[in-house]
Amino acid sequence: MIARRLTRTALLVLAATVVVFAATEALPGDAASIREAGRASPEQIAQARGQLGLDQPVVVRYLRWLGGLLQGDLGSSLSSGRPVSDLLGQRLPATASLVGIALGTTVLLTVAGLIVMQLRRGRGGMLAAGLAAVPQAVYAAALGALLSATLGWLPAVSLLPPGGNPWQEPRTLVLPALTLALPSAAYACTLLRGVLTDALRRPHVVDAYRRGLPPILVLLRHVLPFLVVPALQVLALTAGWLAAGTALVETIYGFPGLGGLLVSAVAVRDVPVVQGAALVPVATVLLGMLLADLAAAAVHRTGRPAAVRPARTAESTP
């Protein structure tokens, strides 16, 4: 079972490398033409493409890149010549901090939303779906106008330099984290609403309400066990969505993370940097899904939760 999941994850990683490479190849222009635009003849641009290895066949370049990945080599930046791993390592801590805070906030907001839905017997799905559909830019504008411009509690933009430690100025994390967490929590509530509704309709849950048990006790003892496995899967997906969504949010707030690096690399067609930065959220999603699958398998092996096991009757008692 574990070997099959690992094999599937490895195949998904391979497919992801193909998609990422194909997406970067689809970008119009290349590093040589953009860098030399208006300053070099076509012959000089062709020479620059040869020096950067951009004149080789697509399959050759993909296999060379894939071989480097297998050896832990992400290549070098076409713009600065620095190793891609160094560029990613410089900004990864800031993005990891942002994603971690946003994920924790998402979990808290999702739990609060599910509790409200449970108290309302599963209602509230339309509101959650509507909040999930709001673009991140709208959340950023609203939060910035309220918490920064009106109340003056938080800085509107981050003034950290690339590679700076966001924990030295933790207030710079609040607006980006909330901008990421609010739509993610709403979407997580939307995904888990069906499971919650199904759990609330189960006979033992209905009976618990009829016996007058407190709603929080019903949630913890009878409903929560049905949410564990899908919640783990949603959590894994959410971590990937948050990692992928940092590009826009970091650009809006001037946060020095991987998102800003990705945007600047796309602008100059620095393909190795784009590929390396794009693989981070992909790897996060696949690793999270693998861990969620393993956790789900472990939960299934332990059997159904005690709260939902059928009671033994006198006829079935030996």
Q: Looking at the predicted structure, is the pLDDT value of residue 109 above 90?
A: yes
Q: Looking at the predicted structure, is the pLDDT value of residue 231 above 70?
A: yes
Q: Phi/psi at 76 (nearest 5 deg)?
A: -125, 150
Distance (Å, rounded) from C-alpha 176 to C-alpha 195?
Answer: 30
Query: By mean pLDDT, which of 76-80, 108-112, 120-124, 133-137 is the weakest?
Result: 120-124
**With bands split at pLDDT 50, 70 and 90, how would you rate the model's confidence at 318?**
very low
Distance (Å, rounded) from C-alpha 241 to C-alpha 238?
Answer: 5
90 or 29, which is more confident? Answer: 90
Highest mean pLDDT among 1-5, 106-110, 197-201: 106-110
To the nearest whole number, what is the mean pLDDT of the chain? 80
Q: Looking at the predicted structure, is the pLDDT value of residue 17 above 80?
A: yes
What contacts 152, CB < 8 A, 6 or more positions away? none
pLDDT in tens, 32-62: 666 665 566 667 667 767 777 777 888 888 8
What contacts 96, CB < 8 A, 6 or more positions away? none
- For the chain, the structural domain boundaries read 2-70, 91-304
Indicate left, alpha or beta for 213 from its phi (over 0: left) and psi (-120 to 50: alpha). Answer: beta
What contacts 33, CB < 8 A, 6 or more positions away? 45, 49, 269
**With bands split at pLDDT 50, 70 and 90, how would you rate the model's confidence at 300?**
low
What is the structure's pLDDT at 35? 64
Is 67 in contact with 77 (CB distance < 8 Å)? Answer: no
pLDDT in tens, 138-170: 999 999 999 988 888 888 888 777 777 888 888
CATH architecture of 91-304: Orthogonal Bundle (1.10)
> What is the DSSP track for 44-96?
HHHHHHHHTTTTS-HHHHHHHHHHHHHTT---B-TTT--BHHHHHHHHHHHHH
218 or 63, which is more confident? Answer: 63
- Helices 125-132 and 84-119 sit at what angle, rounded to 10 degrees? 160
- The pTM (predicted TM-score) of the whole model is 0.78
